[in-house]
Amino acid sequence: MKSSEIDKLVSTAKEYLWPAFGRDTSVFGTPVSIIKSGEGRHIVDSFGNRLLETMSCGAASPLGFNLPELVEAVIDQIKKVNVTTPAMFAPTEPVIWLAEKIASISPGDMKYTIFVSNGTDANETAIKIARQYWKIMGKGTKYKIIHRYPGDYHGISLGTSSASAHPFRRIPFEPLMAGFIAIHAPNCYRCPYNLTCPECDLLCAQELRKVIEFEDPSTIACFMVETTNTGLGMIPSPPGYMKMIRDICDEYEILLIVDEVITGFGKSGFWFDSEKHGIVPEMISMGKGICWGCGALAGTHVKSKIAEAFTGKNVLQHGYTFGGMGYLAAAGLAGINYVEKHKLLDRVKEMSARLSKELGEIKDKSRIVGDVRVNGVLTGIELVKNKKTKELFPDRFAVANLVHKVGRENGVLFACNTWYGDIIWLVPQLNMTDEELNLVFKALKKALIEVEKQFL
């Protein structure tokens, strides 16, 4: 693209486009701020940069870009019908087959799926289902939602913001919705209780019981949780945590909603991270990877006993105009088939072992890598100024910008999150090659060396 054309594109973006997720128009014109195309696991921006993308587009495209099997599935279905019945949602055939397929790969007796447009919708839907379910059961006083802080992120609507734990995404929109109560999220590297696992006896899980008893169990509808706290920096639950949470919810008749919008569809080495933890929730919120990055599709997956209560006068008065487009469901099926055909769940386990090994060695040699967390391909690398005291860098944005810069210079696009420190997120695609992983490790080592030179 000619420089005059680039200048026109950037100026037009700045004049007409309102960027999302806390950015302003000054972002346009910086590398990777405008995308031209995707190739395999590489992204190409409008400024001529071709970079290995290490975050699977925020975990939404876990098979990379333009996989032929996905593209063909989308085109074949959209040629048949591009939308569902305008006046009232009527599923196209691929939506039915995808719902059946999800039931076959999800844990336990989870069965029914209501399709929506994105992860926010999926979590909002789960909250509404929980509240109506208890009314159907004659326990309408059970309306409160318990969630965790910091980090857990369940969406951007007013309801899901109330159930999330990023202050910068809550405070501007207060007052938020009533009935939402937060407990501490586990973080063994920075334990909120200054304890050590397992000597702590999972106090972070036991806190749920204390809050339930304080609030009165007869008022609690559900507990919404991520098995791996992605917003806090890819922090897997401590061993035994999720099983204890499951037991507490059972004891007090509380529905367990597991948000797997990011962790679902193979990224943990299992179809769902819940299975890895040996639990069966009442509901799983799913999105992002559900159609492998082909569009706005998500779903709320529900146990049989929950969904089957919604009959007669108690049907669920809820849905979205574009909740469950057939061409996206076709992509979802094609992606699941691709993963099964190429045994990518096994590949994720191989990648997980290698990520743990290589990053562990990098951590041991680095003066600034404080913690490495790996769950399948879901990876967090926490940078600190002082490894002994875990002191953060005073200018986290400068550190993150340097990581981004060095990564780009070495052909790799890194995501360094500054919400709770400098944390490099990696979510390699399920089909990333060993050679591409080598490129990631090489670029990471160079970025860490530069940070040490400039900030220590």
Residue 393 above 90 pLDDT? yes
pLDDT at 85: 65
Residue 21 binned pLDDT confidence (cut-offs 50, 70, 90): confident
Please tell me whether residues 373 and 329 are part of one structural domain: no
Tell me what pLDDT residue 89 has.
Answer: 73
pLDDT score for 43: 96
What's the confidence (pLDDT) of residue 372? Answer: 98
Write down the pLDDT at residue 259. 98
Nearest to 122 by CA among 283, 294, 279: 283
Residues 290, 373 within the same domain: no
Instruction: Residue 95: give its domain's CATH number.
Output: 3.40.640.10
Domain harbouring 40, CATH code: 3.90.1150.10
**What's the rounded Cα separation, in Å, for the pair 416 and 152?**
18
- β-strand 50-53 against 412-413: which pairing, if any? parallel
What's the domain count of the chain? Answer: 2
Q: Let me know if 332 is exposed, middle or buried by CB neighbors in 10 A (0-12, 13-18, 19+).
A: buried
- Same domain for 204 and 328? yes
In this structure, are 277 and 359 located in the same domain? no
* Residue where a domain stops, chosen among 293, 324, 341: 341
Domain assignment of residue 288, yes or no: yes
- Asked if residue 15 belongs to a domain, the reply is no
Residue closest to 136 by CA, chosen among 391, 317, 5: 317
Q: Are 455 and 366 in contact (CB under 8 A)?
A: no
The per-residue pLDDT for range 270-324, each reduced to its tens digit, is 999 999 999 999 999 999 999 999 999 999 999 999 999 999 999 999 989 889 9
Q: Where are the beta strands (DSSP E) in 60-159?
A: 110-116, 144-149
Tokens of 126: 């789960």
Give me the domain span that covers residue 179: 70-341
**Which whole number is the average pLDDT over 358-379?**
98
Q: What is the pLDDT of residues 152-181, one digit of tens each?
A: 999 999 999 999 988 999 999 999 999 999
Q: How far apart are CA 388 and CA 309, in angstroms?
A: 54
Domain contains 14 = no
299 and 400 housed in the same domain: no
Query: Is 357 a member of any domain?
Result: yes
* 350 and 386 assigned to the same domain: yes
| 110 bridge partner residues | 303
| Confidence at residue 312, expressed as pLDDT on a 0 to 100 scale | 94
Of the residues 311, 341, 371, the one at which a domain ends = 341
In degrees to the nearest 10, what's the CA dihedral of 47, 50, 55, 61?
100
Q: What is the DSSP letter of 61?
A: -
Q: Report if residue 363 sits inside a domain.
A: yes
Q: Can you give the pLDDT at residue 87?
A: 59
Do 223 and 347 lie in one domain? The reply is: no
Task: Say whether both 434 and 375 belong to one domain.
Answer: yes
**Residue 373, pLDDT score:** 98
Q: What are phi and psi of 259, to 5 degrees?
A: -85, 105
Question: Rounded distance, CA 21 to CA 14, Å?
Answer: 16
Same domain, 227 and 348: no
- Tell me whether residue 18 is in a domain: no
Average pLDDT, the chain: 96
Give the chain's radius of gyration (CA, Å).
22
Confidence at residue 86, expressed as pLDDT on a 0 to 100 scale = 57
Q: Is the pLDDT of residue 1 over 80?
A: no
Answer yes or no: do 56 and 78 share one domain: no
Average pLDDT of the segment spanning 323-338: 96
Asked if residue 2 belongs to a domain, the reply is no
CB 30 within 8 A of CB 36: no
How much of the chain exceeds pLDDT 70, in percent?
Answer: 99
Same domain assignment for residues 106 and 255: yes
Does residue 9 form part of some domain? no
Q: Where are the beta strands (DSSP E) in 163-289?
A: 180-184, 220-225, 228-229, 235-236, 255-259, 283-286
Q: At 183, give phi and psi (nearest 5°).
A: -120, 170
pLDDT of residue 83: 83
Final residue of a domain: which of 317, 341, 365? 341
Same domain, 170 and 301: yes
